[in-house]
Amino acid sequence: MKKLLLAISLFLTGLTASAVTPFLEFQPVQVGDHFTAFNLQGGVKTAVHKNIDLGVGVGLTEKWNFDSSPLIPFFVRGEVHGRLGSLTPFVSFDVGYELNTNDTDHGAVLVNPMVGLKFGRWYGGIGYLGHCWTGEHSGSTNCFNMKIGYNF
């Protein structure tokens, strides 16, 4: 865990040395077993090429009725975008870990590839959210998801 935190710290330090773009996203998520949750997350990303961005983020995932402990996702993001006429399509890939605030031994490795369109500073997309649960509750859940976001 210390190595992961050190790597994230070094990455964030590198990001602050170049131009960064903060982002904020809302993501309604439908997960199996009749569990409906929302996700609010934000982070920073930077251009490493004119069509490629890398970033890191953190969020909060909670049931709609707030009757459970929230999950806190930490993730890294890779994004490729381009121009097709007046449209700006993108493909992004998030990978990270969701920490369970109630039971830290029961979290989830998360993977979230996504495709979408940018409209100025706003963007939206659809993707596939996969969780591989850790600890005694091992198994997986997955679903299609949607993100609506804003780049500052």
> What's the pTM?
0.82
What's the sign of the alpha-carbon dihedral 114, 79, 12, 43? negative
Domain ranges of the chain: 2-151
Structure confidence by residue, pLDDT tens digits, 95-128 = 999 988 887 777 889 999 999 999 999 999 999 9
Q: Is the pLDDT of residue 88 over 60?
A: yes
**Mean pLDDT of all residues in the chain?**
85
Among 2.40.160.20, 2.70.98.30, 3.40.120.10, 2.30.40.10, name the CATH number for the domain at 2-151.
2.40.160.20
CB distance 126 to 103 below 8 Å: no
Tell me the pLDDT band of 28, cut-offs 50, 70 and 90. Answer: confident
Structure tokens at 124: 């939206």
Reply yes or no on whether the pLDDT at 65 is more than 70. no
DSSP E strands, 50-138: 52-63, 71-81, 88-100, 108-119, 122-133
